[in-house]
Structure 1
Amino acid sequence: MQVKQAFKMAVKSIKGNRFRSFLTMLGIIIGVASVIVLVALINGFSSDMSESFSTLGTELITVNITGRSADNQVAVDEMIEVLDSSENLAYCSPQVNISVTAKADNENVSTTAFGVNEDYTSIKGYQLNEGRMLQYGDTKNRLKVAVIGTYIADTLFSGKSPIGKSIKLNAESYEIVGVLEEKADSSEGSDDDIVLIPYSAASRLTRNSTISSYLFNASSSTSVEAGINDIQAFLNTKFTSSDYYRISSAAESLEQVNSLTSTLTLVLVGVASISLLVGGIGIMNIMLVSVSERTKEIGIRKSLGGRYRDILTQFVIEAGLTSAMGGVAGIFLGIILAYIASGLLGMTVKISLLSVAVSFSVSVGIGILFGYSPARKAARLSPIEALRYS
Structure 2
Amino acid sequence: MSEPTHEQIVSALHSMPAITLAPGPRLDAEKHGALPLPPSTVWDLPGGTAWVYYGEGNRGLVRPVIFADGFNTGPSSLDFCWEIMEFGDYALISELRRRGHDVILLGFHERSASILDNSRTAQAAIHRAVAERLGDSPLAVGGFSMGGLVTRHALAKMESQGVDHETSLYFSYDSPHRGAWIPIALQAFAHYIKDLDSRFSDQINSPAARELLWRHIEKWDGTPDQSDERAAFLAEMAAVGEWPRRPRRIGVANGVADGTGSDVRAGELALEGKGLSVAGTKLYTQAPGDGELVAKLRVVTLKTNEVRTSGLPEIDGAPGGSLEGFGILADAFNALNPLLGFKTDVLIRSHCFVPAVSAVDVRDLDTDEELYASISELPYGEGGLDEYRLASRNEGHTLVTEELCTWLLDRLP
TM bracket, shorter-chain basis: under 0.3
Structure with the greater alpha carbon radius of gyration: 1
Larger helix share, 1 or 2: 1
TM-score (norm 2): 0.20
